[in-house]
Copies of this chain bind each other. A is one copy, B any other.
Amino acid sequence: MSVTHTGVTAGAAELEPCGQPDHPDCGIRDVLDRVGDKWSVLVIVELAGGPRRFRQLQRAIDGISQRMLTLTVRRLERDGLVLRTVYPTVPAQVDYRLTETGASLTHLVKALADWSLEHRDGIARARRTYDDQHPEHEIR
C-alpha cells in the first residue's frame, strides 16, 4: 500500500461527526459535490498540467460536451478553484488555470489516482467474484 497517512494535518477532521441531523455536513459534502462529478476532476487533472484554453480542455477531456465543460469550469471558477482569463482578441481567447486552492486539490486527486491504480485490479477481481456468486440479480 503506497498511500500512507502522512502529510495530512493530524485530526483536523476525525471523521466521526458526519451525517447526523445536527451535523448535516462536516464539510465533506461541499468538496464531494464538486469532486463527485467526473468532469470536475478531469478538468482539474488537465489543468494540473498548466493553463489551458477552452478548446484544449475539450479536446483533452474525451467525451465531455461543450455544455458540460462550460458548466464545469464555471462552477470551478465560482468556487475559486480555477481562474478564468479572457483575452479581448478576435476571435475570443480564454484560458483557465488552477488557483492556488485549486492546485492544492491536485494533490488529493493524485492520491486518489494512485489509490485507484493500486486497487483497480483487486476491485475488478472482487466484482467478477461477486457477480459469479450472485448470478441472478444485477447489482449494477
Contact = CB atoms under 8 A, between A and B. Distances in A.
Contacts of A116: 13, 27-28, 30-32
A41 interface: yes
A127 interface: yes
Give the secondary structure class of A's interface. helix
Interface in A1-46: 1-9, 12-13, 15-16, 18-21, 24, 26-33, 35-38, 41-42, 45-46
Contacts of A71: 139-140
Interface of A: 1-9, 12-13, 15-16, 18-21, 24, 26-33, 35-38, 41-42, 45-46, 48-49, 60-63, 71, 74-75, 77-81, 101, 104-120, 122-123, 125-127, 129-131, 139-140
